[in-house]
């Protein structure tokens, strides 16, 4: 068994299976929540729910990842805020605007887009890796996180961390042959795709529920979310 | 004590709204830093995410395949009697349902209402702290958590009218406005009731109080017992219908405003065409419309600040009104605390906490944060529009020996009517 | 075994001694002999250069016969070698060293050709090198490739049985090549999947670089064994680096300067072809260093992305213009739809069960007798 064949398998049939599990699994999670019953809000609004929702998303994307809306909480959780925010920035930028990743999207969607220069992507991915390590340390030492963390969360971390480091090693042609790290990268990504519907990484879907609910309740009361 | 009752209550109340938010949680732990109880004690069990655990377990173990699997494999434990007892203390004594956690959560999860749902399970299982439950029982029997009977109520109102020389119309049919007061105002801050009466008279408002709908406080809401919550509100709604008023004015009570204004329509039939509003809004409208006139700068000595009540400002929306009034009354002396407005720190007495003796050390500890806030800006006095906050502030300031005068804004306004 | 040495044959053909030494230098350089441990050692101790080593071998060793089979092929690898601009090398390899059987090039045809093959097999039993071009077909007893009434599969097996070594030239022989592309109607296979009991080396490429083919054969001639190979049995000398590693456009890749369309100004400026689907990073071959047409150019230099033609299954790699990083297979819309449908169905079923549970919990008496935990 040589690495070219391994690569072929994890970029080929296994990727297909992983992606199908991801699609089916996420649909299942969505429908399970959507069909659990929602009641109409009969309370009269004081302000605009829609404005509240818009502000809620603006706050969530532009403010919260780096500067908490609430004073004082930043000082106590600087690591979570900065590392968490930078990790997400790194993830989203590298996966969407990195040239090799854009070509993956292009093959799946049928269209591509302009990408960012290699040094930018490179630095951001390094930042992402460092952020992940810091977040791991955080989860191991923070009293609240120690209390609420169970096994699935460690799996989340590993399956997100591995694509980062294998991708970085691949791009920099570190230590092993290119197809070795490429294979490891694909194995990690495939396993991640399979795992996402089964754990809390799926928060990227439910984010839209909770952020909208939060914005709506604030908008209804005419306060800032 | 009945775990099954609690779990049943949870199963009943978990719909898409609850499920979506429980699924959204990423276990980031940021909510802890926003919680004033966690801040002063550093007890990780006071993290809001931990307070919601019984509800999360109920959801995962009753509604999801993965949850059932984890339970079967021993990776998770079921909810036990001991758990419920333990959590009862946490959610009733170390939480005021101030919802500051929701403001910090990167996912925007409404932890306050979710913790309220946890309380519902406790209520179903009969695990409400004794003091709180006793007060609720009193409200069921005599109509007031402080045990103020109908006759005492009437006598007290008469006394206030006499002592402060104000008119307090009772059970007047055909007027526009029904004002409902709290037992706290009645017994501890009667000046507030007199203040309202004075302002109403000056504004020329046709108003009344109601002997049937005399209590705005809702201890059923603190317990998260929906049946009792509805029962207590129905007393007021029925009175409003009987008197044919156009609006119900909630006086100086936070959670009552939350219940009447933001919850009632979704859990019961509310009288059609009857508006629900807060007294500070009414006063503000009078002032803006020129129905009352206030002497500018009449409180412009010694730094004065405003305390935002969780259920009237952050969860009520009346952030602008008290500030505009205060800036008029104290243009130079008014200073904001930091944080304030929708980010304000809870006084520590809400959510029923003030009624639980066991929780006294905790609520005085968290009040220390308010003392620090006031000290930081050199405040000589602080005002607010919630009588429960006022009671907590009064007791807290005494406990911490802080050199701050505690005032009610309505009271302040009534004293400087031109 | 023939008595005359290679050197003897070359002198007879009119090569001067100087031509011969130049040729040996070329051969040794191409094979990377300077870098082989034995050569290094010898060089340090005894003094002869690699060229001299080659010369010595060619002078002393007798010529080695080669049988060149063509199965399911396009003869492109043969064409490439014979079109090569190194006639002396081709001469050496095909006319002076090999020769006993080569379908495309030999003068004989039909039964005479087959007879020549069998005669060579008998005369040089256990000594000849078998070069295979094109892929064997196994389906339907090999009926899709029949030569002189015999299946290519049988001919391959029979000819390999008495060979000293097997060299699979071109992607078809090495990995199955074009005939093996989906849906592989003839059951094409790699030669290494059919012949397992002989030393075998792959010289993939579509076509294989002629100097790589002849260099490898020459290595066998000179060293008496096949050169060192990688995991896919390719000589490491020629297949040890990717196109990407030695690409002349690499600085553009690193700087993020890409061609977007074949007729844009970036293409004219010679920018990197990564976005055009270049498979350089995962393709091992000697194209950027040896190049084609005696070092004239190679696809990337001429402006076309690398196809990855020296890698297994490059025809089924998703497309020549699909990004190198893209998955080589992806679910069809139908499959994705079915998967989503299954998700919806399962989610709806569970939601239904949960709703029933909720309704039951809401009924009076739902909180039954005390059910304290275990």
Q: What is the domain-level CATH number for residue B326?
A: 3.40.50
Complex ipTM tops 0.85: yes
Q: What is the pLDDT of residue C45?
A: 47
Q: What is the pLDDT of residue C29?
A: 64
Give the number of C-alpha atoms closer than 13 A to the C-alpha of residue A150, restricted to the C-beta side: 11
Last residue of a domain, one of C179, C211, C239: C239
Closest by Cβ to A16, choosing from C256, C313, C331: C331
In this structure, is residue B94 part of a structural domain? Answer: yes
Residue of C nearest to B77 (CA): C373
C193 and C137 housed in the same domain: yes
In this structure, is residue B367 part of a structural domain? Answer: yes
Query: What is the rounded average pLDDT for all residues in chain A?
Result: 92
B231 and B364 housed in the same domain: no
B266 and B323 housed in the same domain: no
C85 and C218 housed in the same domain: yes
Q: Say if the Cβ atoms of A147 and B44 lie within 8 Å.
A: yes
C136 and C214 housed in the same domain: yes
Q: Chain B partners of C362 at a C-beta cutoff of 8 Å?
A: 12
Number of domains in chain B: 3
C233 and C136 housed in the same domain: yes
Domain of C374, in residue numbers: 1-62+331-374
Q: What is the pLDDT of residue B60?
A: 95
C70 and C26 housed in the same domain: no
The residue assigned the tokens 């089964």 is: A198
C139 and C257 housed in the same domain: no
**Which residues, in sequence order, are CB contacts of A75 under 8 Å at separation 6+?**
none
Q: What is the domain-level CATH number for residue C70?
A: 3.40.50.700
Q: Say if the Cβ atoms of C323 and A104 lie within 8 Å.
A: yes
In this structure, is residue B223 part of a structural domain? Answer: yes
Q: What is the pLDDT of residue A173?
A: 84
B118 and B136 housed in the same domain: no
In this structure, is residue B293 part of a structural domain? Answer: no
3-state secondary structure of B405: strand
Q: Say if the Cβ atoms of C232 and A37 lie within 8 Å.
A: no
B278 and B200 housed in the same domain: yes
Closest by Cβ to A12, choosing from C282, C328, C336: C328
Q: What is the mean pLDDT of residues B205-226?
A: 96
Q: What is the mean pLDDT of residues A37-51?
A: 93
Task: Write the burial class of residue B83 (CB in 10 Å: 0-12 exposed, 13-18 middle, 19+ buried).
Answer: middle
Q: What is the pLDDT of residue C62?
A: 64
B68 touches chain C (CB under 8 A): no
Last residue of a domain, one of B83, B101, B127: B127
B150 and B262 housed in the same domain: yes
**Range with the poorest average pLDDT among A68-77, B348-357, C163-172, C308-317:** A68-77
B279 and B361 housed in the same domain: no
Integer angstrom CA distances of residue A66 from A53, B61, C333? 20, 35, 38
Give the separation between CA B92 and CA B128, rounded to whole angstroms. 8
pTM, 2 dp: 0.88
C149 and C72 housed in the same domain: yes
Q: Say if the Cβ atoms of B2 and C361 lie within 8 Å.
A: no
B348 and B368 housed in the same domain: yes
The tens-digit pLDDT sequence of chain C (374 residues) is 456 676 776 677 676 777 777 766 666 665 655 555 554 444 444 456 667 767 777 676 666 778 889 999 998 988 887 765 554 555 565 554 555 566 666 666 777 778 878 887 888 888 888 999 999 999 998 999 998 888 999 999 999 999 989 999 999 999 999 999 999 999 999 999 999 999 999 999 999 998 888 888 777 777 778 888 998 999 998 999 999 999 999 999 988 899 999 999 999 999 999 999 999 999 999 999 988 887 889 999 999 999 999 999 999 887 899 999 999 999 999 999 999 999 999 999 999 999 999 888 877 655 544 332 22
- Cβ atoms within 10 Å of B267's Cβ, excluding its own: 15
Last residue of a domain, one of C211, C239, C267: C239
B116 and B139 housed in the same domain: no
3-state secondary structure of B298: coil
Q: What is the pLDDT of residue C68?
A: 86
Q: Chain C partners of B65 at a C-beta cutoff of 8 Å?
A: 350
In this structure, is residue B13 part of a structural domain? Answer: yes
**Which residues, in sequence order, are CB contacts of B231 under 8 Å at separation 6+?**
B140, B220
C281 and C228 housed in the same domain: no
Higher pLDDT, C118 or B226: B226
In this structure, is residue B137 part of a structural domain? Answer: yes
On whether the CB atoms of residues B382 and B303 are closer than 8 A, the answer is no
Give the separation between CA C339 and CA C331, rounded to whole angstroms. 10
Q: What is the domain-level CATH number for residue B21?
A: 1.10.1060.10
B205 and B172 housed in the same domain: yes
In this structure, is residue B299 part of a structural domain? Answer: no
C278 and C335 housed in the same domain: no
Closest by Cβ to C347, choosing from A3, A16, A31: A31
Which residue of A34, A41, A144 to mutate against B (max B Cβ within 10 Å)? Answer: A144
- Percentage of chain B modeled with pLDDT above 90: 95
pLDDT tens digits for range A163-202 = 999 999 998 888 888 999 999 999 999 999 999 999 999 9
Last residue of a domain, one of C195, C213, C239: C239
The four Cα atoms A95, A99, A102, A107 give a dihedral, to 10 degrees, of: -130
Element (H, E) at B392: helix B387-400
C163 and C290 housed in the same domain: no
- Cβ atoms within 10 Å of C152's Cβ, excluding its own: 26
On whether the CB atoms of residues C288 and C281 are closer than 8 A, the answer is no
B121 and B167 housed in the same domain: no
The residue assigned the tokens 């009540």 is: B309
C364 touches chain B (CB under 8 A): no
Q: What is the pLDDT of residue C67?
A: 85
Q: Say if the Cβ atoms of C322 and A30 lie within 8 Å.
A: no
Closest by Cβ to A8, choosing from C328, C335, C355: C328
Q: What is the pLDDT of residue C374?
A: 24
pLDDT tens digits for range B74-97 = 989 999 999 999 999 999 999 999
Structure tokens at B198: 């004075």
Give the separation between CA B180 and CA B49, rounded to whole angstroms. 35
Number of domains in chain C: 3
Q: What is the domain-level CATH number for residue C314?
A: 4.10.480.10
Q: Chain B partners of A73 at a C-beta cutoff of 8 Å?
A: 30, 33-34, 104
In the DSSP assignment, the letter for residue B134 is H
On whether the CB atoms of residues C220 and C165 are closer than 8 A, the answer is yes
B18 and B97 housed in the same domain: yes
Kind of pairing between the strands at C150-151 and C146-147? antiparallel
Query: What is the rounded average pLDDT for all residues in chain B?
Result: 95
Q: Say if the Cβ atoms of C344 and A31 lie within 8 Å.
A: yes
C362 touches chain B (CB under 8 A): yes
C129 and C208 housed in the same domain: yes
Q: Where are the beta strands (DSSP E) in B163-255?
A: 177-180, 207-208, 247-250
Taking alpha carbons only, the member of C162, C163, C137, C134 closest to residue C150 is: C137
pLDDT exceeds 80 at position A208: yes
B49 touches chain A (CB under 8 A): yes
B60 and B162 housed in the same domain: no
pLDDT tens digits for range B135-164 = 999 999 999 999 999 999 999 999 999 999
Domain of B155, in residue numbers: 132-288
pLDDT tens digits for range B285-330 = 999 999 999 999 999 989 999 999 999 999 999 999 999 999 999 9
Residue of B nearest to A154 (CA): B27
Q: What is the pLDDT of residue B289?
A: 97
In this structure, is residue B21 part of a structural domain? Answer: yes
C89 and C233 housed in the same domain: yes
Give the separation between CA A34 and CA A26, rounded to whole angstroms. 12
Q: Say if the Cβ atoms of C282 and A2 lie within 8 Å.
A: no
């Amino acid at each position: 068994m040589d690495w070219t064949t391994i690569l072929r398998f994890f970029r080929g049939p296994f990727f297909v299976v992983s992606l199908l599990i991801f699609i089916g699994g996420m649909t299942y999670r969505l429908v399970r929540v959507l069909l659990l019953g929602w009641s109409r809000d009969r309370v009269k609004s004081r302000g605009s729910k829609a404005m509240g929702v818009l502000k809620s998303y603006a706050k969530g994307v532009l403010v919260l990842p780096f500067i908490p809306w609430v004073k004082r909480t930043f000082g106590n959780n600087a690591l979570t805020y900065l590392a968490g925010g930078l990790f997400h920035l790194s993830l989203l930028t590298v996966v969407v605007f990195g040239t090799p990743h854009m070509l993956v999207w292009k093959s799946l969607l049928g269209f591509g887009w302009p990408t960012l220069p290699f040094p930018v992507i490179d630095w951001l991915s390094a930042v992402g890796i460092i952020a992940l390590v810091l977040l791991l340390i955080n989860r191991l030492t923070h009293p609240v996180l120690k209390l609420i963390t169970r096994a699935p969360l460690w799996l989340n971390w590993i399956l997100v961390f591995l694509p980062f480091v294998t991708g970085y090693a691949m791009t920099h042609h570190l230590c092993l042959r290119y197809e070795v790290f490429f294979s490891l990268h694909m194995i990690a990504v495939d396993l991640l795709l399979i795992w996402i519907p089964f754990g809390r990484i799926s928060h990227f879907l439910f984010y839209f529920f909770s952020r909208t609910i939060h914005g709506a309740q604030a908008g209804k009361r005419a306060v800032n979310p | 004590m009945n775990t099954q009752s609690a779990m049943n209550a949870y199963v009943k109340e978990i719909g898409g709204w609850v499920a979506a938010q429980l699924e959204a949680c990423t276990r980031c732990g940021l909510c802890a830093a926003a919680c004033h109880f966690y801040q002063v004690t550093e007890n990780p069990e006071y993290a809001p995410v931990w307070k919601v655990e019984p509800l999360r377990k109920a959801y995962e173990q009753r509604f999801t395949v993965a949850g059932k699997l984890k339970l079967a494999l021993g990776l998770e434990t079921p909810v036990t009697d001991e758990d419920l007892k333990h959590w009862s203390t946490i959610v009733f004594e170390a939480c005021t349902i101030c919802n500051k956690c929701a403001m910090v959560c990167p996912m925007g999860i409404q932890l306050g209402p979710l913790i309220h749902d946890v309380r519902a399970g406790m209520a179903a299982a009969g695990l409400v702290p004794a003091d709180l439950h006793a007060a609720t029982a009193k409200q069921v029997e005599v109509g007031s958590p402080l045990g103020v009977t109908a006759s005492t109520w009437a006598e007290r109102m008469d006394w206030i009218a006499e002592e402060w020389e104000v008119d307090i119309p009772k059970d007047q049919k055909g007027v526009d406005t029904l004002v409902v007061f709290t037992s706290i105002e009645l017994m501890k801050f009667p000046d507030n009731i007199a203040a309202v009466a004075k302002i109403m008279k000056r504004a020329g408002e046709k108003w009344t109080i109601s002997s049937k709908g005399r209590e705005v406080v809702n201890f059923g809401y603190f317990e998260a017992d929906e049946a009792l919550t509805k029962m207590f509100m129905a007393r007021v709604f029925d009175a409003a219908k009987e008197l044919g008023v156009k609006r119900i004015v909630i006086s100086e009570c936070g959670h009552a405003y939350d219940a009447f204004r933001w919850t009632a329509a979704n859990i019961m039939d509310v009288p059609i065409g009857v508006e629900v509003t807060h007294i500070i809004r009414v006063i503000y409208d009078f002032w803006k419309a020129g129905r009352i006139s206030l002497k500018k700068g009449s409180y412009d000595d010694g730094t004065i600040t405003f305390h935002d009540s969780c259920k009237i400002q952050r969860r009520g929306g009346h952030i602008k009104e008290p500030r505009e009034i205060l800036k008029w009354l104290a243009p130079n002396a008014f200073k904001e605390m930091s944080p304030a407005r929708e980010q304000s720190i809870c006084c520590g007495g809400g959510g029923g906490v003030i009624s639980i003796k066991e929780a006294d050390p905790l609520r005085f500890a968290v009040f220390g944060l308010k003392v620090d806030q006031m000290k930081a800006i050199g405040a000589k006095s602080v005002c607010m529009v919630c009588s429960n906050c006022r009671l907590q502030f009064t007791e807290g300031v005494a406990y911490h020996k802080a050199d701050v005068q505690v005032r009610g804004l309505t009271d302040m306004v009534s004293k400087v009517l031109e | 075994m023939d008595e005359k040495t290679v050197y003897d044959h070359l002198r007879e053909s009119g090569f001067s001694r100087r031509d011969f030494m130049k040729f040996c230098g070329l051969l040794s350089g191409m094979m990377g002999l300077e870098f082989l441990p034995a050569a290094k050692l010898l060089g340090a101790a005894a003094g002869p250069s690699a060229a001299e080593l080659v010369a010595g071998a060619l002078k002393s060793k007798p010529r080695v016969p080669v049988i060149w089979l063509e199965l399911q092929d396009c003869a492109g690898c043969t064409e490439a070698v014979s079109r090569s601009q190194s006639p002396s090398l081709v001469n050496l390899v095909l006319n002076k060293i090999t020769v006993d059987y080569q379908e495309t090039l030999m003068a004989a045809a039909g039964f005479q050709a087959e007879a020549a093959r069998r005669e060579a097999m008998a005369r040089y039993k256990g000594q000849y090198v078998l070069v295979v071009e094109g892929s064997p077909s196994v389906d339907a007893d090999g009926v899709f490739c029949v030569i002189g009434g015999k299946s290519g599969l049988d001919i391959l097996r029979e000819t390999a049985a008495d060979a000293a070594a097997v060299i699979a030239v071109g992607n078809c022989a090495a990995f199955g090549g074009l005939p093996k592309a989906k849906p592989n109607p003839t059951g094409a296979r790699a030669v290494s999947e059919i012949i397992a009991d002989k030393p075998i080396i792959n010289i993939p490429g579509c076509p294989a670089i002629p100097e790589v083919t002849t260099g490898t054969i020459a290595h066998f001639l000179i060293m008496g064994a096949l050169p060192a190979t990688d995991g896919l049995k390719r000589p490491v000398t020629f297949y040890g680096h990717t196109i990407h590693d030695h690409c002349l456009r690499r600085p553009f890749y690193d700087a993020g300067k890409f061609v977007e369309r074949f007729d844009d100004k970036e293409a004219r400026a010679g920018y990197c072809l990564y976005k055009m689907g270049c498979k350089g990073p995962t393709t091992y071959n000697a194209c950027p260093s040896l190049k084609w047409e005696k070092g004239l150019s190679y696809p990337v230099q001429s402006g076309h992305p690398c196809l990855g033609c020296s890698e297994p299954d490059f025809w089924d790699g998703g497309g020549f213009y699909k990004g190198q990083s893209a998955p080589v297979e992806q679910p069809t819309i139908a499959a994705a739809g079915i998967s989503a449908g299954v998700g919806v169905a399962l989610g709806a079923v569970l939601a239904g069960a949960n709703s029933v549970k909720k309704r039951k919990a809401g009924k009076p008496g739902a909180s039954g007798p005390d059910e304290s935990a275990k």
